[in-house]
């Protein structure tokens, strides 16, 4: 694998649940010019820690360095790159499509195919909720571009290691 190739990485961190932690982490990425594509901060089963799931793209060597620098932060319990590992990765999206009565059936068919939930419906719009892997969400997005997407919000990817392995 090319050391300098730009690809997407799934990183998870267990961090102290304190103000300022996010800044310290994002500074490590920013300093190396590494772009964060998505970032999810959420509580864990223990309230003193938070979980961060980050997807970022860039070359692998720089990322290795970044992971080591993240682990060096006092507020980071651990940071690891799960790229290439078998982990469960999910995200959720809400998509609001312009949907006059004429095309409603068509949109709902697409929605059903992707196992979306219809969470809001008005005369002209339809809001769909979809969960799954990034590929699935991307595919739905592509399908829906044939209609007018008014708004889209994605949660960003969350990651969990399978079995007894820790994330």
Partner 1 sequence: MSGKTRDGAQALIDGLQQQNVEFIFGYPGGANMPVFDALLDSPIKLILSRHEQGATHMADGYARTTGKAGVVLVTSGPGATNTITGVMTAHMDSVPLVVICGQTITPNLGLDAFQEADVSGISFPVVKHSYLIKNVNDVPRIVKEAFYIAESGRPGPVLIDLPKDIAVAQFEPDNNFDMHLPGYVIPTHGDPERISEAAEYLSRATKPLLLVGHGAIISKAERAVRILAEKMKIPVTSTLLGKGGFPENHALSVGMLGMHGTAYANMAVMECDLIMSIGSRWDDRIVGQADIFCKDAVKIHIDIDESEFNKMICPDCCIHGDARLVVEELNTQVVPNDTAPWLKQIEKWKKKFPLSYKKRGGLKAQLVLDELNNLVQGDAIITADVGQHQMWAAQFCRTTTPATWLTSGGAGTMGYGFPAAIGAQLAQPDKLVIAIVGDGGFQMTLCELSTAVINKLPLKVVIINNAYLGMVRQWQELFFDVRYSGVDLEGNPDFVKLAESYGARGFRIRRNADVVRILSEALAYNDGPCVIDAEVEKEDNVFPMVPSGHPYTDMVLERPKQKLAKPVGST
Handedness of CA 110, 149, 121, 116 (dihedral sign): positive
Measured from the CB atom, is 71 or 118 closer to partner 1? 71
Cβ of residue 10: shortest distance to partner 1, in angstroms?
A: 20
Measured from the CB atom, is 19 or 163 closer to partner 1? 19
Helices within 39-147 (DSSP H only):
60-72, 101-113, 134-144
In 3D space, the residue among 66, 48, 74, 49 whose CA is nearest the CA of residue 11 turns out to be 66
Contact between 17 and partner 1 by CB under 8 A: the answer reads no
Measured from the CB atom, is 31 or 115 closer to partner 1? 31
Q: Across the strands, what pairs with 81?
A: 11
- Grouping H, G, I as helix, E, B as strand and the rest as coil, residue 99 is coil
Residues between 51 and 90 with contacts to partner 1, criterion CB under 8 A: 61, 64-65, 68-69, 71-78
Q: Which residues bind partner 1 (CB under 8 A)?
A: 15-16, 19-20, 23-24, 27, 31, 61, 64-65, 68-69, 71-78
């Amino acid at each position: 694998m090319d050391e300098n190739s730009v690809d997407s990485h799934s990183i998870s961190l267990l961090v102290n649940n304190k103000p300022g932690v996010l800044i310290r982490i994002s500074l490590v990425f920013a300093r190396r010019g590494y772009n964060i594509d998505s970032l999810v901060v959420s509580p864990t089963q223990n309230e003193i820690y938070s979980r961060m799931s980050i997807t970022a793209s860039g070359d692998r060597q720089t990322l290795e360095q970044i992971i080591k620098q993240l682990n060096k932060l006092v507020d980071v319990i651990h940071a690891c790159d799960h790229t290439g590992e078998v982990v469960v990765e999910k995200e959720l999206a809400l998509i609001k499509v312009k949907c006059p009565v004429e095309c409603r059936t068509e949109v709902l068919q697409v929605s059903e195919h992707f196992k979306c939930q219809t969470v809001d419906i008005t005369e002209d719009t339809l809001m769909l909720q979809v969960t799954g892997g990034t590929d699935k969400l991307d595919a739905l997005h592509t399908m829906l571009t044939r209609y007018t997407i008014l708004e889209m919000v994605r949660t960003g990817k969350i990651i969990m290691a399978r079995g007894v392995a820790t994330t």
